[in-house]
Amino acid sequence: MAALAIIFGYLLGSISSAYLAGRWLKGIDLRRYGSGTVSGTGVYKHVAKWAVVVVGIFDIAKGAFPTWLGLRLGLGLGVALAAGLAAVVGHNWPFYLEFKGGRGLSTMMGILLVVFPGGTLWLLAVLGLGRLLRHTALAALGGVATLPFLSWITQQPPAIAWACGGMLLLTVAKRLEANRLPLPPPGTKRRQTLMRRLLFDRDVGLREPWTERGAGD
């Protein structure tokens, strides 16, 4: 049952609402636009602003449902969290999109909504601040990076702290991997690109030229 719950989480997470929104509403493949990530940001920029609400709710549900189901079936907190994290892996690396997906932040919020609602509120607050300061990507990284500490000071079960650490690892891995975008040759420029990916979730200095790119740019 534990293995089935985790597999279910991955398969559910692999359903990319952002990709489907791009295909159904505008006939485009979001992997060829902006940063190349299949995400709510891509939907907002290149599909329809209203659609990002539907996409966001679905992505949150992808993390919440397997986590809730694991608890409901009595599989224990650890298995429930593993199923939720599997949904994040599916969201980030969906098998039917050549393992090119999104960043998983909304799906992580869904997990936290079930087991640690304060963590969801924390991420929303940090993202709101980042939005005001026009550094959303940096704020998102900071929010996820501080989740393990937040879970510790609020005396959450150890499994939640470990799951928050897993969220951070998945976030860092996805940003650095960047849907397998090519890196410059080894040297200073490669290090700069990796640092930009990690901190700002892009390969260039300015945000707008990166997120506004169209197919073929």
What single string gives the DSSP state of each residue in 125-140? HHHHHHHHHT-HHHHH
pLDDT at residue 208 is higher than 60: no
Residue 90 falls inside a structural domain: yes
What mean pLDDT, rounded, does the chain reach?
A: 91
Percent of the chain with pLDDT over 70: 94
Q: What is the mean pLDDT of residues 123-128?
A: 95
Q: Say how many domains are in the chain.
A: 1
Distances (CA, A) of 87 to 97, 110, 188: 15, 10, 35
* pTM for the model: 0.91
Identify the band that residue 214 occupies on the pLDDT scale cut at 50, 70 and 90.
Answer: low
Residue 217 falls inside a structural domain: no
pLDDT at residue 135 is higher than 70: yes
Closest CA to 91 of 75, 105, 76: 105
The whole domain housing 11 covers 2-211
Residue 113 falls inside a structural domain: yes
Question: What letters, b where the CB count within 10 A reaches 16 and e where it falls short, cover 88-119?
Answer: bbbbbbbeebeebbbbbbbbbbbbbbbbbeeb
Residue 15 falls inside a structural domain: yes
Residue 135 falls inside a structural domain: yes
pLDDT at residue 210 is higher than 80: no
Q: What is the mean pLDDT of residues 53-62?
A: 96
Residue 91 falls inside a structural domain: yes
Q: Quote the DSSP letter at residue 182.
A: P
- Pick 204 or 152 by higher pLDDT: 152
Identify the band that residue 217 occupies on the pLDDT scale cut at 50, 70 and 90.
Answer: very low
Residue 216 falls inside a structural domain: no
**Positive or negative, the Cα torsion across 172, 175, 180, 181?**
negative
Q: Residues 167-199: pLDDT tens digits? A: 999 999 999 998 888 888 888 889 998 998 899
Q: What is the mean pLDDT of residues 75-101?
A: 95
CA distance 36 to 134: 20
For the chain, give the number of residues.
217
| pLDDT at residue number 141 | 95
- Pick 121 or 204 by higher pLDDT: 121
